[in-house]
């Protein structure tokens, strides 16, 4: 779900990555783009190989994931980039997307899918990155070094975040309130190459 007002973003077709989300107005650093809402499903029950529509599964707890409603526009439409301008912030167990830096009108909003380092379980790997940034690694998988740094940081974040009730099969509901902006942290620019 977008938390950014409708006149700030639009959904357009990209050249190689299907649909994408683009800024219509300038978006300031730290501004929240949206909350990743959807159905709470058991991660173990989900067959990743059969899902040809894209990478839409979002981590919720160690057993649960969020699967968004693909019929509605939402922040699940943000494409992956090796130099993303948005990042994920865990708030009350929810994954909020926020602007890492100022985003100019016309720019595509991007995120890192933060895929674990490529190993034999991802074979054949279809996670080819076409972000065309100068830091593009050609893959959506993070390097082991960056992935481990990110995991460590996120585990600390999770400890600080409120415990969340998991109800499988139910839709994750919008929170009653959201922070106005997300504070910067050096780890973001380290992993985001900005």
Q: How far is the CB of 137 from Zn ion (least distance, A)?
A: 6
- Pattern 170-189, binding to Zn ion, x per CB under 5 A? --------------------
Write the binding mask 35 to 74 for Zn ion: x where contact by CB under 5 A, - elsewhere.
----------------------------------------
Handedness of CA 137, 138, 144, 147 (dihedral sign): positive
Name the DSSP letter for residue 143: P
Which of residues 17 and 39 has its CB atom nearest to Zn ion in the complex?
Answer: 17
Residue count (the chain): 194
The answer to the question of residue 78 lying near Zn ion (CB under 5 A) is no
Q: Give the nearer residue to Zn ion in terms of CB position, either 122 or 175.
A: 122
Contact with Zn ion (CB under 5 A) among 122, 164, 166, 175:
122
By CB under 5 A, which span of 26-34, 94-102, 117-125, 158-166 interacts with Zn ion? 117-125
3-class state of residue 155 by DSSP: helix
Confirm or reject binding of residue 190 to Zn ion (CB under 5 A). no
Pair of tokens at residue 186: 């050096």
- Nearer to Zn ion (CB atom), residue 86 or residue 129: 129
CB 3 within 8 A of CB 177: no
Is residue 27 at the binding interface for Zn ion, with CB under 5 A as the rule?
no
CB neighbourhood size of 108 (10 A): 18
Residue 87 vs residues 31, 55, 111, 164, 188: alpha-carbon distances, Å: 11, 16, 6, 21, 7
Contact (Cβ atoms closer than 8 angstroms) between residue 2 and residue 34:
yes
Assess 17 for contact with Zn ion (CB under 5 A): no
Name the site residues for Zn ion (rule: CB under 5 A).
Answer: 82, 122, 125, 127, 129, 131, 136
């Amino acid at each position: 779900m977008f938390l950014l007002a409708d006149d700030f973003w639009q959904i357009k077709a990209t050249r190689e990555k299907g649909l994408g989300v683009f800024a219509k107005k300038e978006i300031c650093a730290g501004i929240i783009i949206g909350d990743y809402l959807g159905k709470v499903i058991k991660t173990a029950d989900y067959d990743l190989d059969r899902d040809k529509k894209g990478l839409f599964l979002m981590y919720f707890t160690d057993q649960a994931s969020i699967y968004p409603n693909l019929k509605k526009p939402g922040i699940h439409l943000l494409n992956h980039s090796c130099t993303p301008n948005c990042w994920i912030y865990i708030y009350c167990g929810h994954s909020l997307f926020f602007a890492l830096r100022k985003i100019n009108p016309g720019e595509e909003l991007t995120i890192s899918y933060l895929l674990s380092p490529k190993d034999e379980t991802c074979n054949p790997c279809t996670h080819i990155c076409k972000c065309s940034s100068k830091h593009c690694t050609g893959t959506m998988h993070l390097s082991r070094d960056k992935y481990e740094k990110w995991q460590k940081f996120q585990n600390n974040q999770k400890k600080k975040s409120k415990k969340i009730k998991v109800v499988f099969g139910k839709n994750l509901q919008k929170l009653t309130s959201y922070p106005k902006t997300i504070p910067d942290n050096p780890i973001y620019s380290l992993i985001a190459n900005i």
